[in-house]
Amino acid sequence: DIGEAMPLSEHPSSVMEKKANRLYLWPIRPNGTEGNWQLGKDELKERLSKGYIKWGKITNTGIYVTFLKRGSIQKIEDKEVNVVGRDVVSGTVLVDNSNYSRSFIPGTQWNIANHDASYKGTQLLSKFIGNRFPFPKSLYAVHDVIRFFVANNPNALILDFFSGSGTTLHAVNLLNKEDGGHRRCIMVTNNEVSAEEEKAFRAKGLHKGDEEWEKFGIARYVNWPRTKCSILGVDVNGNPIQGDYITSNTEEKVVKRSIKQISLDLRDDSLGTKLKKQIVGLIGDKKMPQNAVKAECPYLVPEDANNAILFDVTKIDGFMEDIHESIDT
């Protein structure tokens, strides 16, 4: 049963009290101060009826209660993961998330090494056509942009209305190679030459349309050779290109977990919170910011982070529950 809030004039004696063959759980912090439940009465009842609450084993310090976070509940309600049944003992939902794919909204600014135009643009293109084009975009920057929009459309048609050196088509071909897609790319170009080249050609008495002019245009001199060479895997002289592309394909590997224990007296006060933030700062995980540490924070299991921290060993059950949940989703 979920009872009413205790009157302010009354105070529980411990986390777990036994009265008349009933166990009563109270939100008492490890330092003995009184806290609050994270869920209100009505919300707790609703989640309990839907199987979103799980009761742990009875221990000397109480019963650990875990519940699905709002993000996980939203995935169930949006049918991103399928409910396949209920646990016969606890009544909690059993889900199949084998078809779930985590969504991601890209930021407006990227700081990714593979997007460096010098190394992954100029140097990469020079392997195919030498120094014919000075400032191409990074192949991987264009690849990643396109992938966000057509990753789930293997037959997409992409239009590049100002194709330049042909990086877009190169990126589309790389994406097709990764996932077996059949995406196509239409490139539009006017075969122009640079301002410096035009000045030099005119000094020689050449005009647009002359063969000596046109053969150095961006389409014929850069775009078309790049497209042909990148498809065949050779340079403009017919020599095989050495090396491999960096792709978005992943490979699962078993990595041994590293567990480190630090003996500290972490109190539930401002000093304890400050010390917890310092520990988080020492780890240096960008997906585990210091502002994630709150006053009542027995552990941290941030989504997508490579690290997790258990501050209060008495909360190990909830800590492990959240870790397994983050792995499953």
How far is 155 from 150, CA to CA, in rounded Å? 9
For residue 305, what pLDDT is reported?
A: 79
Tell whether 203 and 128 lie within a shared domain.
yes
Tell whether 120 and 227 lie within a shared domain.
yes
128-160 pLDDT, tens digit each: 999 999 889 999 999 999 998 999 999 999 999
Tell whether 225 and 319 lie within a shared domain.
no
Tell whether 42 and 74 lie within a shared domain.
yes
Q: Is residue 227 part of a domain?
A: yes
Q: Is residue 265 part of a domain?
A: no
Tell whether 47 and 117 lie within a shared domain.
no
Q: Which residues of the chain have pLDDT under 70?
A: 1, 30-31, 59-62, 88-90, 96-108, 250, 325-329
Structural domain containing residue 53: 16-96
For residue 99, what pLDDT is reported?
A: 62
Tell whether 194 and 302 lie within a shared domain.
no
Tell whether 139 and 77 lie within a shared domain.
no
Which of 232, 259, 286 delimits the end of a domain?
232
Contact of 153 with 147, CB cutoff 8 Å? no
Which of 39, 61, 96 delimits the end of a domain?
96
Q: Is residue 308 part of a domain?
A: yes
291-325 pLDDT, tens digit each: 888 777 788 888 777 888 888 887 887 788 777 76
Tell whether 23 and 81 lie within a shared domain.
yes
Tell whether 201 and 126 lie within a shared domain.
yes
Q: Is residue 222 part of a domain?
A: yes
Number of structural domains (the chain) is 3
Q: Is residue 217 part of a domain?
A: yes
Q: Which of 46, 47, 59, 45 is nearest to 14 (CA)?
A: 59
Tell whether 154 and 74 lie within a shared domain.
no
* Count of Cβ atoms closer than 10 Å to residue 120 Cβ: 22
- Across 142-262, the runs of DSSP E, i.e. the strands, are 157-160, 184-187
Question: What is the reported pTM?
Answer: 0.52
Q: Is residue 101 part of a domain?
A: no
- Element housing 18 (H / E): strand 16-19
Which of 96, 123, 140 delimits the end of a domain?
96
Tell whether 216 and 140 lie within a shared domain.
yes
For residue 202, what pLDDT is reported?
A: 95
